[in-house]
Structure 1
Amino acid sequence: MFDSESKYYAHYIGLHKSISSSTKKILILGGGFGGITALKEIEKNFQKESVEITIVSDKNSFLFTPMLPQVASGLLHASNITIPIRYFCKKAKYLHASIDSVDLDNQLVTIERSFDHKVRTLEYDYLILALGAQTNFFHNEDLKKHSFTIKSIEDAIAIKNHIIVMLEHAAQTGNYELQRTLLTFVVVGAGFAGVETISEINQFVKKSVSKSYPSINPKNINMILISSKDRILPEINEKLSEKATIFLEKSGVTIMKNTKADGADEENVMLSNGGKLSCATLIWTGGTKMDKVISDLNCEHDANKRIIVDQSLRMKNKKNVFVLGDCALIKDESADTFYPSTAQHAIREGKLVAENLMLVFNNRKNLKKFTFHSLGIMAIIGNKVGIATIGGRNISGFSAWLLWRMYYLSKIPSFGKKLKISVDWFTDSILAPDVTHIGLIKKKEVNSIHVNENIPSIKEQLLSNS
């Protein structure tokens, strides 16, 4: 009857679910821009209400993703763009666990603790779904096996470590072909993530070679960006895209348009045009897909499994479930299209969810509708060079680069992190890149801890020793 222990457990809890309505339970799933913004606003708005706020995420920190490529290039320290979720929990409770399933009918969420896989089911009165998207390899196992991704802080650290290893290997060979293969870096996907990643790596590798690797021939460095479309950065207008293309090509990046990566092995990338690239580094930014928890939900989805929501960001036919961020399909009525999944949209969505939740608590039926006009889009494409579209106006060069830094620095939640990032940026401008390789880090697996119930409690032990 039940195909997993967790589903049976959820069923059991549902039968014995508490019926007390004195304290309403608000449950947030996801610790990205949308989930954290919703958490902060709810804590601020619900200071006097009798509510129990819980946020669940399998990562114990909020990741400032716009700066992730700068961690991959060693420009920023990894901890400087991550903020512990507990930092935001003034009233809320945080649970570090993976989400196993969501039972919309019984208002239950089953979670699993990572170290011993212990299953627990949480009740909710109001649910906020803010789970981010996952990397999509389109069922190509070879690409998945032989490429890096850049979605997490672990990804960025792994890329940096790998680049340094390639530099060290290349410095020890006089073989032209081998050195060129070791120094060929291929990024698949020419959206913002791909363009900023190839740009950061390009700067890091070339600067490192000039300062620290005299035995490497700079002519053997080969940076390749693969775009499935006829241009890069499809999110921006063609004029600005062309400017970015010209600059990247001048800085030594080869852009392959109307091309897809069809496969890969340890030293090659196979292309849709029948060609093959010899490379030791492949980074995939070519697509995303929904988390299985989202795609398995019994609700309306679009073709990409995003949840279709109304203008108040509520799930259809489930008025106590709000959806935002990557997993939500939100109609832009003014433009007859759908809002993109960007950080600035997720932040505004999180604020609206908190506002509408307060209206629901006050028994208001007319909730606010989501409307948002993008403040603009920006990207860094080189050393002190950026591109931006602000209010329909194109900006490029140093001013766009400076604007990117100022804007995103202002959005970092912690003053301490702002200060550390500023120091990192300053030291990078005057010092050579740090090419320290972080070796294998030992990890102790704790899968279960057996508790002897006959052992006195810590309190009893302390009293007996006094």
Structure 2
Amino acid sequence: MTTKILILGGGFGGVNVLKSIQNKFKNDSNIRISIVSQDNYFLYTPMLPQVSSGLIHPSDITVPIRKLCKQAEFYHAEISFIDLKQKLVTITRTFDGKVHALDYDYLVIALGSNTNFFHNKNIEKHSFVIKTVEDAVSINSQVINMLESAAQTSDEDFKKALMTFTVVGGGFAGVETMGEINQLVRDSVKNFYPSIGTENISMNLVASKEFILSELGPKLGKIAGNYLRKAGVNVLTKTKAVDAGEDFVKLDNGKVIPCMTLIWAAGTDIDPVIYNLECQHHQSGKIMVDEYLRVLENENVLALGDNALIKNPLTGEPYPATAQNSIHQSSTVVNNLYSAITGKTKLKKFSFKSKGMMTTLGRKIAIAVMFGLPITGPVAWLIWRTYYLSQLPMFEKKFQVATSWMADLLFKRDLTFIGLIKNKSLTKVDMKYDTPPIEDFFKD
């Protein structure tokens, strides 16, 4: 009989499970592997801020999932509902909204997380986010549009508002995005937009904690803040954004920043599909798993990444939601899947000690903790680039990114404004499926 393995999510967790489980069951006709993702590509998220600044091209950090499917079937669709009792997953096809269901014997849940606006509708409406490749491209277009607009106005107050950029969030995503945008804007004004004037540029990083990059500890967090301040960024700590409009951001201290560009990188939330899953949840909404990464009371379902609460057995604290952890969790998931299906290996408990964390703050400046040792400046920047370049999934992507980095050291940034891209969807076309529609699974 065929054993069906279904993987939900095309991020670090899902893709690494896909690649490894295909190798485990290579050319095994009794194993059917499927993966579902709302994007048809794997996105290397640590380099998203560099796409937002135009340093690298979006295609440099994306890999079509079908390229990774050696023997797996790929579904470009959104996950609508997971029924653990019936062993069914309802999916909605992205192109035309058609709904059908997939059954499974073993399920891997790696859906990641969504942006959390904490129920603030105004901020959600008027801000950019840095979660997807489309988000990064939108930010890049917005920055260039603001530069072009500011260069064509003689109203000094309006020019300053156009040249004010505010990033909310003192974590890795917010800090790296601010570092990249700050460099792009200042270099562009200096080289191509002399009429704007550097005195009209205002860069604001809003962080709720006492220092930025709390994951690196207070010492390095404060050093990072000082680096950004020297680069011209206003680092506002112990501060929150509470409201926003088309041309302003309001802070919890009552200050209002006239601002045309707001980027929100201040929180993550669980996918609604995970919230509705009939299993045990942590108060954060994350799925509760055992030491083998199996969903509690569901041994044929494994979860990893941002949507699962996985505790460090040494500290009792949850592992942070990082790509590094997802990659190592995928190894445990694959081992335990292979053990459950074949019985040829023993179940493995998940345990991982991070070798370090790092972040960039701009050109030739970074901060890192490697094996417990703090590293700053150009050396950390070189380590960051070397490590992340080595982790890109395909040689062609490594070559493309390395080429872009080299070009950035030799030439000025591209300031092409792309504008809007039109998408078409179908709502009235009836198409037949190779897989049965969902209604067929519920017939008596």
TM-score (structure 2 length as normaliser): 0.95
Q: 1:439, CA displacement in angstroms? A: 1.9
- Per the alignment, residue 3 of structure 2 pairs with 24
- Per the alignment, residue 324 of structure 2 pairs with 344
- Per the alignment, residue 209 of structure 1 pairs with 189
User: Could you say what secondary structure the match of 1:235 adopts?
Assistant: helix
- Per the alignment, residue 58 of structure 1 pairs with 38
Deviation by residue 1:320-344 (Cα, 9 ceiling, x = unmatched): 0000000010111111211111001
- Per the alignment, residue 413 of structure 2 pairs with 433
Aligned: 1:35 with 2:14: yes
Among 189, 192, 195, the alignment partner of 2:175 is 195
Aligned: 1:445 with 2:406: no
- Per the alignment, residue 46 of structure 1 pairs with 25
Deviation by residue 1:86-133 (Cα, 9 ceiling, x = unmatched): 111001000000101000001000001122221111110000000010
Q: 1:446, CA displacement in angstroms? A: 2.6
- Per the alignment, residue 439 of structure 2 pairs with none
Aligned: 1:386 with 2:375: no
Change (3 A) 1:116 1:231: same
Q: 1:448, CA displacement in angstroms? A: 3.6
Is the 1:115–1:448 Cα contact (8 Å) retained in structure 2?
no
Once residues 11 and 337 of structure 2 are traced to their aligned partners in structure 1, the CA distance between those partners, rounded to angstroms, is 19
Identity of matched residues, %: 49
Is the 1:248–1:381 Cα contact (8 Å) retained in structure 2?
yes
Q: 1:364, CA displacement in angstroms? A: 6.4
- Per the alignment, residue 65 of structure 2 pairs with 85
Q: Give the letter aligned to residue 12 of structure 2.
A: F
Deviates more, 1:236-245 or 1:62-71: 236-245
Q: 1:277, CA displacement in angstroms? A: 0.6
Q: How many residues in Structure 1 have an aligned counterpart in Structure 2?
A: 431
Q: 1:179, CA displacement in angstroms? A: 0.9
Deviation by residue 1:183-224 (Cα, 9 ceiling, x = unmatched): 000000000000000000000001111111121111110000
User: Could you say what secondary structure the match of 1:27 adopts?
Assistant: strand
Extract unaligned runs of 5+ from structure 2. Answer: 433-444
Is the 1:171–1:213 Cα contact (8 Å) retained in structure 2?
yes
- Per the alignment, residue 331 of structure 1 pairs with 311
Q: Give the letter aligned to residue 271 of structure 1.
A: L
Once residues 48 and 429 of structure 1 are traced to their aligned partners in structure 2, the CA distance between those partners, rounded to angstroms, is 46
Q: Give the letter aligned to residue 119 of structure 2.
A: H
- Per the alignment, residue 295 of structure 1 pairs with 275
Q: 1:450, CA displacement in angstroms? A: 4.7
- Per the alignment, residue 50 of structure 2 pairs with 70
Once residues 63 and 193 of structure 1 are traced to their aligned partners in structure 2, the CA distance between those partners, rounded to angstroms, is 15
Once residues 48 and 449 of structure 1 are traced to their aligned partners in structure 2, the CA distance between those partners, rounded to angstroms, is 37
Once residues 84 and 340 of structure 1 are traced to their aligned partners in structure 2, the CA distance between those partners, rounded to angstroms, is 27
Q: 1:447, CA displacement in angstroms? A: 2.6
- Per the alignment, residue 226 of structure 1 pairs with 206
Once residues 101 and 252 of structure 1 are traced to their aligned partners in structure 2, the CA distance between those partners, rounded to angstroms, is 47
Once residues 26 and 430 of structure 2 are traced to their aligned partners in structure 1, the CA distance between those partners, rounded to angstroms, is 39
Change (3 A) 1:308 1:365: farther
Q: 1:238, CA displacement in angstroms? A: 1.4
Once residues 451 and 94 of structure 1 are traced to their aligned partners in structure 2, the CA distance between those partners, rounded to angstroms, is 18
Among 382, 386, 395, the alignment partner of 1:402 is 382
Q: Give the letter aligned to residue 22 of structure 2.
A: E
User: Could you say what secondary structure the match of 2:214 adopts?
Assistant: coil
Superposition misfits of 4+ residues, deviation over 6 angstroms:
none
Q: Give the letter aligned to residue 11 of structure 2.
A: G
Is the 1:222–1:253 Cα contact (8 Å) retained in structure 2?
yes
User: Could you say what secondary structure the match of 1:87 adopts?
Assistant: helix
Aligned: 1:272 with 2:291: no
Aligned: 1:163 with 2:143: yes
- Per the alignment, residue 290 of structure 2 pairs with 310
Is the 1:301–1:308 Cα contact (8 Å) retained in structure 2?
yes
Deviation by residue 1:439-462 (Cα, 9 ceiling, x = unmatched): 22232333343579xxxxxxxxxx
User: Could you say what secondary structure the match of 1:337 adopts?
Assistant: coil
Deviation by residue 1:413-464 (Cα, 9 ceiling, x = unmatched): 1111111111111111111111110022232333343579xxxxxxxxxxxx
User: Could you say what secondary structure the match of 1:232 adopts?
Assistant: coil
Q: Give the letter aligned to residue 44 of structure 1.
A: N
Once residues 239 and 422 of structure 1 are traced to their aligned partners in structure 2, the CA distance between those partners, rounded to angstroms, is 31
Q: 1:365, CA displacement in angstroms? A: 8.8
- Per the alignment, residue 128 of structure 1 pairs with 108
Once residues 116 and 155 of structure 2 are traced to their aligned partners in structure 1, the CA distance between those partners, rounded to angstroms, is 36
Is the 1:259–1:272 Cα contact (8 Å) retained in structure 2?
yes
User: Could you say what secondary structure the match of 1:319 adopts?
Assistant: strand
Is the 2:338–2:345 Cα contact (8 Å) retained in structure 1?
no
Once residues 46 and 450 of structure 1 are traced to their aligned partners in structure 2, the CA distance between those partners, rounded to angstroms, is 36
User: Could you say what secondary structure the match of 2:215 adopts?
Assistant: coil
Once residues 129 and 175 of structure 1 are traced to their aligned partners in structure 2, the CA distance between those partners, rounded to angstroms, is 53
Is the 1:133–1:291 Cα contact (8 Å) retained in structure 2?
yes
Q: 1:243, CA displacement in angstroms? A: 1.2
Aligned: 1:104 with 2:118: no
Q: 1:353, CA displacement in angstroms? A: 0.5
Q: Give the letter aligned to residue 36 of structure 1.
A: V
Aligned: 1:370 with 2:350: yes
Once residues 441 and 122 of structure 1 are traced to their aligned partners in structure 2, the CA distance between those partners, rounded to angstroms, is 32
Deviation by residue 1:343-362 (Cα, 9 ceiling, x = unmatched): 01000111111111111122
User: Could you say what secondary structure the match of 1:404 adopts?
Assistant: helix
Q: 1:177, CA displacement in angstroms? A: 1.1
Once residues 191 and 391 of structure 2 are traced to their aligned partners in structure 1, the CA distance between those partners, rounded to angstroms, is 33
Deviation by residue 1:27-53 (Cα, 9 ceiling, x = unmatched): 000000000000000000111541100
Task: Select the structure of larger CA radius of gyration.
Answer: 1
Among 176, 188, 191, the alignment partner of 2:156 is 176
- Per the alignment, residue 234 of structure 2 pairs with 254
Once residues 404 and 427 of structure 2 are traced to their aligned partners in structure 1, the CA distance between those partners, rounded to angstroms, is 37
Deviates more, 1:113-122 or 1:368-377: 113-122
Once residues 176 and 193 of structure 2 are traced to their aligned partners in structure 1, the CA distance between those partners, rounded to angstroms, is 24
User: Could you say what secondary structure the match of 1:157 adopts?
Assistant: helix
Is the 2:292–2:336 Cα contact (8 Å) retained in structure 1?
yes
User: Could you say what secondary structure the match of 1:331 adopts?
Assistant: coil
